[in-house]
A = this chain, B = another copy of it.
Amino acid sequence: MDMHKLTRELAAKNDSKIVMLVADGLGGLPQEPGGKTELETAQTPNLDRLAAKGIQGQSIPVKPGIAPGSGPGHLGLFGYDPLQYQIGRGALEATGIGFQMQPGDVAIRCNFCTLDADGNISDRRAGRIPTEESAPIAISLREISIPGIEIFVEPVKEHRFVVVFRGEGLGGNVKDTDPQATGVPPLDPVADDSASEKTAEVAKEFLRQAREILKDQPKANFHTMRGFAARPDMPTYEEVYGLKAAAIAVYPMYKGLASLVGMEIVGEAATLEDQMTVLKENWDKYDFFFIHFKYTDSTGEDGNFADKVKRTEELDACLPAIEALGPEVLIVTGDHSTPAYLKSHSWHSVPTLLVSDCCRPDPHTSFSETTSITGGLSQFEAKYLMLLALSNAGRMGKYGA
């Protein structure tokens, strides 16, 4: 059964505030046998104090044993079953650069390539042309015009850019034009279903004009299109939870993911301190706040245990600023684990702490991978976290009489 059917039915309104602080890649591993994890090594007096008032447990991002990317990791925390809602490659790329896709948009990952005199591909990545050269070339494609279609062209990095088509009747299922080989010409865009035929036609016309614009570029005299994807059709936070939600993030990817579920992206922040300022400034305007902290993940990805410990302590230090605002529900969690030991996202379940005045505190007075094993929330799939948040906030009535 779709949990959103239930949350819609049972939604109750009140003035409560819910804060979900997501420390990306929060969970970790000991660096050596018998050692402590990053979170256990860090000095976290605020988390420990909150642990004494709260209930903790371990969130399973998707299913036991599955390491998620940022997309499914966050969708789970937002209460959207990550096995049901999938974000296509193009949509993820657009989202990752902060492009806010609208329903009906189709996003496409594009690669500049080099064609030889016969029109065959001689380099599928245009010699990995540097970003400072490629970005103006991508921007030059903005002059392409197709009647009835709004077109967005956004540079990414090196040979990569994103194209988004906006218009009526555009399906997202079109085959890649990259033949995955050199010495052959790029393929034509071909629709995989009848709903995507118009998209294939639009892409063909885009490519025709692009070939004209790019013909005198020595390296990047054409481009391929891959990963056509419609915006995933996801109901909004407002619609499924009755929550006016704000996202306070530094990195474009997380703003993009939040916008896919209808959160508003508020403020400009470069640091966690900035994010706390944005939170305070917007406190009266929203019911729900998603705060994203990147560096517990990036230091884990770097395999830098000591830096991940430091970043965890930085996270801990921001908590009093959140508490001072008096949220009815405060959640600290991660979208997945990123142990420095593995230098990558992992499948390990994620320590998760929930504090509210009716959370049924468990006996723990610190917060870690080890304590959360025996926390009152036990292990649970991340997709249920929003149900707990809503109930603890008094925002969900009972099911059935």
A interface with B by C-beta (< 8 Å): 1, 3, 6, 10, 29-30, 33, 37, 53, 58, 62-73, 82-84, 86-87, 89, 92, 339, 341-342, 344-348, 358, 360-363, 369-370, 373-380, 384-391, 396-401
Contacts and interface: CB of A to CB of B under 8 A. Distances in A.
Contact of A53 (B33, B63, B339, B391): B33
A192 B274 CA distance: 55
A70 B398 CA distance: 10
Q: Is chain A's binding surface mostly helix, strand, loop or mixed? A: loop
A386 B346 CA distance: 15
A326 B370 CA distance: 27
B391 A65 contact: yes
Contacts of A398: 67-69, 344-345
A125 to B, nearest CB: 19
Nearest to A398: B67
A63 to B, nearest CB: 6
Q: How many copies does the complex hold?
A: 2
A242 to B, nearest CB: 15
28 contacts: A6-B66, A29-B358, A30-B361, A58-B378, A63-B384, A63-B387, A64-B377, A64-B387, A65-B386, A65-B389, A65-B396, A66-B391, A68-B398, A69-B398, A69-B399, A69-B401, A72-B400, A92-B400, A339-B358, A339-B360, A345-B398, A347-B388, A362-B370, A363-B370, A373-B374, A374-B374, A379-B379, A379-B380
Given A358-B29, A391-B347, A384 B65 contact: yes
A298 to B, nearest CB: 16
